[in-house]
Structure 1
Amino acid sequence: MDEVTWRGATVVWARASDVPELSTEDLAAMGQGQLARFRELTGARAAGFLAGRALIRELVLRLGGGPYVPLDSVCARCGEHHAAPRTPGFVLSVSHAEDLVVVAAAQGREPLGVDVEHDTAALRVAELAPLFSAASAPDLAGWTRIEAAVKADGRGIVIDPGDVRLRPEPAAVEPAEWTAMLPGRASPLQVATLPGPTGYTLSAARG
C-alpha cells in the first residue's frame, strides 16, 4: 500500500489482490448493508469492493478512529447501499481503476473526493470532448479533477461534468491546485492532481 497526503487528507492505494482479505464477519461488523452490497457483486467488482472496505478500515483506525469502523452507504435517492461510504468523525472517498483501489480519508466534515483513472483512459476522455466547450474540454488529468470535485460535492450524477469550471491557482505550490466551481454550490472546492501510482492519474478535491 502506498500513500500521499494533501490538505489534511490521506490518500492510499493498492491492488485489490495485494490487500489482506477482509472476512465476511469483519465486513458485517462494518454494517449489514455493506455485507448485502458485497453479496450483490461478483468477480473483480466484488474483490475491489472488499479491498476498498479493508483499506477504509485500516486507514480510519490508523488515523485515530475506532475501535470499530461502521459504514453507511445508503443512497438518498433510492435507499440502496451504493452511495459514497460514510463513517462518524471522518470523510471518505473511494475510486477504482482496473484492479487498483484508492481510498481517501480525513478527520472532520470538510468535503473530500478522489478519482483515479488508468492512463489508457485518455482515449475515452477525448471521446467525451463534445460534453464541453472547445475551450474547456479536459485531458485525462483534468477529467480526474472534475470527477474528484463532483465526488466531494456529494450530488454525483446530477451535476453535468461540462458545467464544472476549473481555474488554476496562481500560487506556486506543489502539487499545483485549481479552484473548482460547481453549479448550485455556493463555496468553491480546491482540486489537485497528486503524485500517485505509476501508469495512473490521481486527483483529489477538498472543501
Structure 2
Amino acid sequence: MGQITWRESTVAWALVSELTEFAEADVAAMGQGQLDRFRELGGDRARGFLAGRALISALVQSIRGPGEVLLDSRCHRCGGEHGRPRTAEVSLSVSHSGDLVVVAAAAGTAPLGVDIEAWSAAGRVSELGSLFPVGAAPDVAGWTRVEAAVKADGRGFEVDPSAVIMHDGPRDVHPQAWSAALPGRATRIEVATLSGPPGHALSVALG
C-alpha cells in the first residue's frame, strides 16, 4: 500500500490481491446499496469493489475518526448504485487499473477526482485519439489529468474530453500542476500528476 498527499487530499493505493480481509459483511455495514452493488458483480470486478471499499473505509476513518462509514453511490441519471461514492463530510473518488485500486479523499465537500493508468496502457489511450482534434490527443499522463478533472467536475464524460483545456498551473507549488478549464463551468479545476505506484500515471483533481 502507498499513500501521498496533495493540497487537502490524501491519495492511497493498494493491490487488490493484497486487500483480502474486507468481506461482504464489511460492505453490508456501509449500506444496503453497497451490498446490492457488490452482489451484482463477480470475479475481478467484485474483488476490486471490495478493495476500493476497504481503502475508502480506512481513509474516511483517518479523516473523521473511528466509526461507521455509510456510503451512497446512486447514479444521478438512473438511480443505480454504480455512481461515485459519497459520504458525510468527506469527498471521495476511486480509480482502478488492473490489480491496482486508488482512492482519493479530502475533508469537506470540495469536488475531487482521481485517475490512474498503467504506462503500458499507451495503446489503449492512443485509441482514444479520435476523441480529440488532430495533434491534440494526450499521452497516458495527460489522459489521467482529463479523467480526474471530469470526475471532479461531477459530470464525468458527459463533458467532451476534447473540450477540457489544460493550462500550466503553479509549478512552484508542484512541478506537474495544471489548471483545467471545462465547458459550462465558471471556475477552473486544479490538477496534479503525482508520484504514485511504479509503472503508472496518477493524477488527482480538486475543484
Is the TM value for this pair above 0.5?
yes
Unpaired runs of 5+ residues, structure 1, are none
* Aligned counterpart, 1:24: 24
Q: CA RMSD in A?
A: 1.2
TM-score w.r.t. length of structure 2: 0.96
2:169 and 2:190 in contact (8 A); partners too:
no
* Aligned counterpart, 2:206: 206
Q: Are positions 1:61 and 2:61 aligned together?
A: yes
* Aligned counterpart, 1:42: 42
2:91 and 2:110 in contact (8 A); partners too:
yes
Q: Are positions 1:154 and 2:133 aligned together?
A: no
Shift of 1:130: 2.3
Shift of 1:65: 4.0
Q: Segments of 4+ in structure 1 off by > 6 A?
A: none
Deviations 1:99-154 (A, max 9, x none): 10000000001111000001111111122222112342211110000000011011
Shift of 1:20: 3.8
SS at match of 2:145: helix
1:20 and 1:54 in contact (8 A); partners too:
no
SS at match of 2:152: helix
Unpaired runs of 5+ residues, structure 2, are none
Q: How does 1:129-140 map to 2 (within 5 A)?
A: 129-140=129-140
1:21 and 1:51 in contact (8 A); partners too:
no
User: How many aligned residue pairs are there?
Assistant: 207
Shift of 1:173: 3.0
Aligned-partner Cα distance in 2 for 1:142–1:173: 19
Shift of 1:176: 2.0
Aligned-partner Cα distance in 1 for 2:77–2:179: 28
1:119 and 1:201 in contact (8 A); partners too:
yes
2:52 and 2:101 in contact (8 A); partners too:
yes
* Aligned counterpart, 1:10: 10
Aligned residues with identical type, % of pairs: 58
TM-score w.r.t. length of structure 1: 0.96
